[in-house]
Every structure is written in structure tokens, then in C-alpha cells.
Chain A
Amino acid sequence: MKASHLVPTICPYCGAGCGLYLVVEDGRAVGLEYMTDHPTTGGALCSKGNAVLEVLYHPERLTKPLVKSDDGWRIADWGEVLEIVASRLGAIRQADGPEALGFLSSSKCSNEENYLFQKMVRTVFGTNNVDNCARLCHSPTVAALAGMLGSAAATNPLPDLANADCLLVIGANPSENHPVVAQWMMTAQERGATLIVADPRRTPTAWAADFFLQLPPGTDVALLNGMMRVVLDEGLHNRPFIQQRTSGFSDLVVSLAALSLEWVAAVTGLSVANIVQAARAYARAQAGAIVYAMGVTQHATGTQTVQACADLALLCGHIGRPGAGLFPLRGQNNVQGACDMGALPDFLPGYLQVDEAQAGLTVVEMMHAAAEGRIKALYIMGENPVVSDPNAGELRKALNKLDFLVVQDIFLSETAALADVVLPAAAWAEKEGSYTSTERRVQWSAKAVEPPGEARPDWQIVCQVARRASGEEANWHYDSPAQVTAEIASRIPFYAGITAERLQGRIGGLLWPCPSPEHSGTDILHQERFATPDGRARFVPVRYQLPVETTNAAYPFTLTTGRIGTHYNAGAMTRRSPSLSRYAPDPFVELNPQDAATLGLAEGEWVQVTTARGQVKVRVAITARTAPGVVFAPFHFPGINDLTMDALDPAARIPEFKVAACQVSRLEV
């Protein structure tokens, strides 16, 4: 038997932060092993983690730098492309100013890579126009919780869900999209916990629910306010907690005074009895957990919906104790880290606020600016906005208008295909670095194998671009990612105790805040005080608002987008993984049997889905999972986001992905 060794890595897919070993033989990853002593997973790994080797060795991996020419792609060498990138960006900056440049950092890249990227954007190119795809998912969490609690991260570690005796899962489908979380929720239920699931669809998460609240997309604020109304009416609020640890309670009471449960029932389609039962179950629990994700955040009212979730948790005193907390389920493997590292237009590393007058543009705003000619160049690292951003038809036009587009990626994605220059990057197993999961868990992912061909680790590429563009070596000389980790520790107080040495070989890493080298990390936040100036959490009352676009005669269905378990985000990785893509090889929409019958559609038939912005051809999946009148479209396929709208939440600037009006029609033969 050949000698093989195990290399510990962190799964490159989602924010659950699962560890897995790659089995390396003769410089090749030939298999994987389960990390059975991982504190969050116990070695568990979802379908996508199990298929990572299909991505690593895919024949379409980018191996050479590419330059676009009239005859298509020309292979170039690194010297040439680095020169092109540095000089083109430099020239545009010279002619039109630094605000004509835009930069998208990658929430799939490591902390070290994100830190270096924003450092390059700010110190070399002189702009704050840097953002990452957190903008499209949990920017409302940052906008809402930073103000209310002083810290925007998940308050408890994921295994702590097992300690809750009531789980309120709203706008989230962890059983499908963060599958390893299911084991903790089920353990809680086996110990007697009540599971409440609020979702427009009967998802696998909802299968196990004690109370399933099937509400229409975009009505969550009405439900949450209704639940708070019940809590106040029945005197179930946690008076000592409110008195000792919060401010603004009277504002909340006043804002809910005129709310009628009958009105909430009318808006949400739920019965008053169900709303009351759910409210009582959560309020009466010893420890209640609120688990939320895109169903709460991806709205023009996303920030307000997160605020309503936090209001409910504060009202019942369910924060700062085992089993009691707020669990925003962050999507990307390092979206938490990308934000911690300041790959954001309005925050520096460690969430130091950028002066409002100097704050840069967010992702969608950059695309709008590109369409208007205000942004003339974009440097996109590990992002695929052509598939993942809203109103994608307009976005493609905007990208084509740019004077210069450079994309750094592992595949020639739909976005890379539009670029002037493509930089081939190393995949997760071909470089080392730290990644921060949704539970603030910072873990080291080791390098297992060499990158293919001329592909280079993102941290090296960023340093090389920075060196060329700035003409200086000094700030950009790093021998290894570990040196960057040390620099991060010196800049960010809550990472101060985190070094590569401490992380390497430590299964499960460290949970921040970790303020010193002796500190062993922090499990539960807000135990004694909140991270606000006065140490108290602040209630922020919110009022229900209608979605931006409602149904009408031309577009009679409510379109909502979301995820399925065997694909991942923009699909660049999973659509190239046969063991996964076979479950859903084609774009599709879910339609309720009643609607399918009315339209005379058969299972699997190709149909056209149209909104005011665009149209796509998809298959129809007929299922009672989705309510009548609602059309659910997984967004893992190019074109789905041609349908969605780029109306933005005013605080978080997240688009209204979750609600649009659409029509579904037979395809003309």
C-alpha cells in the first residue's frame, strides 16, 4: 500500500466550517477522511463536502493567465498579466480618480487573502470601493445587530442549539443548506425542545417542526411583531432582563400598541391561534434560540426584519446564555472572516467604521455606477456576480461597459468570461490560511497539494499586483500566510490571540473574541454585557412594509429565490460536480399542484418564467412544498437572477431577492 498522509482542511463550501482531511498520496488528493473529533460536526459532512475532489481536479480548472483578444482568449504569462492589471488600473486611477475603480473581494478566500485585498484597495489604490458578497446575504445582520447589540455575529456556537428548549427557525432551511446543524436541532428536539419553523415552503427543516408557520414571502415582520404583541399581552416578557440589560423598551411597547393579531393573521395567512401558540412556546422557554438566514435578510426591509428578530429575543431575554441566542446562518465558508477583515466599503479590519463621507460603494451600487460610467474598472476576486447578483441582465451590460475588467478565479465562470484578463487561482486545498465560520470559529486549512499549472494562491497574486501597482516591496513582502495572520492579530483586537501556530493542529480552531495568546476563545457572547457603549442592548421597533413589487394581472405569481442542498450559490463548483448536479441538472421552479393544474403543466416540462426585468427557460417541478401563488426558483443557475430586482435595503444595501412578481407560461413550441 502506498504511503499516504492526511491533511486537515476546512470545507470550501458553506459557513458551517466543517473540517475534513484530504488523503494525499504522491502529491495527489486521492480521497477524504472524516474529522470525527471536530467539535461542531463530529466528522459529519454534507453532500457537497463529500464531492470536493470533483472540483479540485476538474478539467476546466484555470491553469494559465488569460488575456482577451479579438480571436478569443490568449494564454499569457504572469509577468505580462500582472503588468496589464497594474498599469490599466493605475491609468484609470490617474485619469478618472480612485473612485472610478471598484473591487470585489471573495468571501471564499481566506482571512489573510481578504485582509491583503482590502489593504491593497485602500493603501495602493486609494479607495474604499471594496465589498464582498456578504452584501447579498447578511449585510442586514451587520447593519441591525451592530447597532442593537454592539456585535453582529452569531451569539452562540452551533452545537449550543442542542441546549435550546425552543428553536424558532425563521427564513432559514438549515436541514438543507447547513445540514450539519440538523444534528444539534434534532438533539434539542429529542430532549423535548419545541421546533417552530416559519417559511413559505415546507422544507426538510419544516418536516420536523412542531409548529409550521407557512407565511407568504416578505411578511416576517408582521409575524414577529404579532408574536411580540402576544408576549406583551400575556405578560410573558422577561422583565428583569429588560430592566437590567436593555434600553428603548417603552419605544417598542408604543410601536406595538395598535397592532391587532387579526391584522397579522390577515397579512400572514396564519391563524391567530397559531401565532399565539408559537409566541407562547418561544417566550415560555427556558432558553430560546432564533435561527435565521436569507428569508429574513434578502429583502429591501432586511435590516428591519433582523431588528424584529433581535427585538423578540431581547423581549424574552433569550440572549447571552446556553441555548439562548441569535444564530444568523452565514453562507460562505469565509463570509464572516471577509467582513471581520474589513473587505467592506464602510468598515476597516475589525469593524472600525470608515467616516461616512468617505465610505465606498457596495456591490450593487458598484454595478449601478458601472452602468452609469462612474466606475470604469473592476477587479473581481472569487466572485461570480453575473450569476449571483440581482437584475443580472442589466449587470451584464454594466460589466461590458467597463474599460477594464479583471477576474481572479479557479474556473472560467460566467463573470470571468466577460473579463479582459483572467488570473488563475489556487483552490482551497492548494494554499493555506485561516477561515472564520458562521459561529465565529477561526480554523486553519492546511495546504494539501500544489495548484495546477500556473495557478497561484490568491494571497500571492494580490501581493504581486500590489507590488507592481505601488512600485514598492516593503509592505507586500510576506513569506507565508502565517505572517499575514500575525499582522491581522496586531490590528484586530478580537483576533489578537489568534496565530497560525495556535490554529495549526488545533481541531476546531478558536472562537473569537480571542483577545490574547493565553485566551482560549469565547463561546457565548453578551453574557455579562452587550458590546454597546453603555453595555445595554437597544430595542429598535419596526413597522411592517409591503414588498417593493407585488403581484398584478401581468405577473400574478410571487417569485421567491433560494437554495437547494445539492447545489451551492452561483453553481460554479456544484454544476461541475457530477455526483451533485445529477440531482438537479437543469434550472427549475417549484410550482404548487393547484397552480400547475390551472396552467395545464406537466412535471418536468420546460416553461418560461418572466418578470418585469427578464425571462428564463426552466423546468417545472410540481410539489406541494410551495404554497399556491408562490413560485420558488433555486438561484444556482445563470439567468435566474435576470428575474430578480436590485431594489436595495436603505441601510444594508442588500437587494430584494426574495420577492418579485412573475408570470409562468408554457413555452411556445
Chain B
Amino acid sequence: MSAIIHTELSRCIACHACQVACGREHGGAENIYLPPSADRAVPLVCSQCEPTPCLAVCPPGALRRAGDVVLVDSEKCTGCGLCLWACPFGVIGLATTGRPVHKCNLCLDRLERGSKPACVLTCPARALSYGPYEEAVAPARQRAAAVQVQAVARGEGR
């Protein structure tokens, strides 16, 4: 199964490290988002969806899938912005100079060196991980189970 970036919401502390790291690695274009909130943190990053709404809607065919990752061909991109509308998570960005669009590329150059995406490496709370879905979801299930066990131990029931 494909390896993508997973976000563990219970761990995100809204520190913005992932955003600063991503922007630095990608010439100022940030591809991970943290909607502002007073008491919650929901980091949003491309899920490299399959089927792929952004790719399906792109008129010049500037989006293509290469294995696990969906990439933008900046030569073909016209900056029309339709992919921004199609993306269910709002994680495609329009560069301020107009075109092209930018999106998470899983830090492909890092993956090729045997490393991991910068946001994953930097996250101080270990809220981001990179790998197949099963690897990410198993610890999440364990965490959820631990919460329930604790609650029962405190006499709070389910």
C-alpha cells in the first residue's frame, strides 16, 4: 500500500515547525497547512489521493502520478486554479507570482536519498509520520485504546 504522510491529531501542538521547514525546503512554497484555532490543531497535508480529484480536473494535464506521489509539472501548469477547487483538503497552493501551483511532493529528493519528508523529520511532537497506511493507523488504534483503558481505570466508564 502507498506510503504517504499521516497526521496524528492528538499530538499536533500547532507549533508551525512543519510549515517553516516545508517552505524552506521548497523555495518559499509551503505545502502543509495549519488552520488557526484557539484550542485545536489540525495539520493538513496532501494525501496523494487515489482517485485523484486534482489530476482529474486539470485542463493542461499538468498533474501526474508517479508511484505514491502526485506531482505538478510546472512547465505545463497554467495557474488556472481548478485543482485548488477540486482538492477536498485545500492543500494545493497558488504561488504568489501567479503560476504554477504547488503541492506536497513528499520531499521526493529526500526519499531518493533514503531520508524522509522534512515535515516528518522536524515535527517536535511526532505528530507526522511517513509510511504505509497500516503502519500509521496501528499506533493510532493503540493510542485510542489506551485512552479508553485509562478512562475505565479512573472509573469513568466508556
Contacts and interface: CB of A to CB of B under 8 A. Distances in A.
Interface stretch (A47-55, A257-265, A314-322, A345-353): A47-55
A175 interface: yes
Interface in B1-26: 10-11, 13-17, 19-21, 23-25
A191 B150 CA distance: 9
Nearest to B149: A192
A580 interface: yes
Contact of B20 (A202, A580, A623, A625): A580
A263 to B, nearest CB: 28
Interface centre among B17, B41, B142 (most CB of A within 10 A): B17
A126 to B, nearest CB: 45
Nearest to A207: B39
B16 A47 contact: yes
A182 interface: yes
Nearest to A32: B24
A44 B16 contact: no
Given A34-B122, A43-B122, A47-B20, A204 B146 contact: no
B16 A625 contact: no
Contact of A47 (B15, B25, B126, B149): B15
A482 B133 CA distance: 49
A43 B121 contact: yes
A181 B126 CA distance: 10
A579 interface: yes
Interface string A223-245: 00000000000000000000000
A234 B120 CA distance: 46
Contact of B24 (A42, A50, A175): A50
A186 B127 CA distance: 10
Given A183-B126, A192-B150, A623-B38, A46 B121 contact: no
Contacts of B123: 44
Contacts of A175: 13, 15, 125
A201 B153 CA distance: 29
B143 interface: yes
A190 interface: yes
A44 B149 contact: no
B20 A179 contact: no
Nearest to B21: A50
Contact of A186 (B11, B14, B40, B150): B11
Contacts of A49: 17
A565 B122 contact: no
B124 A50 contact: no
A31 interface: yes
B124 to A, nearest CB: 4
Contact of B15 (A179, A190, A624): A179
Interface residues of B, number: 30
Contacts of B125: 175, 179, 182-183, 186
A85 interface: no
A34 B11 contact: no
A22 to B, nearest CB: 12
Contacts of A180: 124
A458 B143 CA distance: 48
A201 to B, nearest CB: 11
A625 B38 contact: yes
B13 A204 contact: yes
Contacts of B16: 47, 565-566, 580, 583
A281 to B, nearest CB: 9
B124 A45 contact: yes
B15 A51 contact: no
Nearest to B11: A186
Contact of A183 (B20, B41, B124, B149): B124
Nearest to A181: B124
A304 to B, nearest CB: 31
A46 B15 contact: yes
B39 A182 contact: no
Contacts of A207: 13, 39-41
A207 B125 CA distance: 13
B20 A50 contact: yes
Nearest to A179: B124
Contact of B21 (A45, A181, A583): A45
A47 B19 CA distance: 8
A175 B125 CA distance: 8
B124 A46 contact: yes
Contacts of B17: 44-47, 49-50, 179
Interface string A179-212: 1111100100011100000000010110110000
A36 interface: yes
Interface centre among B10, B13, B23 (most CB of A within 10 A): B13
A176 interface: yes
B19 A179 contact: no
B24 A625 contact: no
B120 to A, nearest CB: 9
Nearest to B19: A47
A44 B20 CA distance: 13
B124 A176 contact: no
Contacts of A205: 13
Nearest to B40: A207
A318 to B, nearest CB: 20
A625 B39 contact: yes
A566 B150 CA distance: 34
A39 to B, nearest CB: 15
Contacts of A579: 20, 23-24
B20 A182 contact: no
Contacts of A623: 38
A584 B41 CA distance: 18
A179 B38 contact: no
B13 A182 contact: yes
A50 B30 CA distance: 13
Interface in A19-70: 31-32, 34, 36, 41-47, 49-51, 53
A598 B118 CA distance: 45
A43 B115 CA distance: 12
**Which 3 A-B pairs give the minimum distances between C-beta atoms?**
A179-B124, A175-B13, A50-B20
Given A51-B24, A204-B41, 18 more contacts: A43-B121, A44-B124, A44-B126, A45-B122, A45-B124, A47-B19, A49-B17, A53-B24, A176-B15, A182-B13, A182-B125, A183-B11, A183-B124, A192-B149, A205-B13, A207-B13, A580-B16, A625-B38
24 contacts: A42-B126, A43-B122, A44-B122, A44-B124, A45-B17, A47-B17, A51-B24, A53-B24, A179-B15, A180-B124, A182-B13, A182-B124, A182-B125, A183-B11, A186-B10, A190-B143, A192-B149, A204-B13, A207-B40, A207-B41, A208-B10, A565-B16, A579-B24, A580-B16
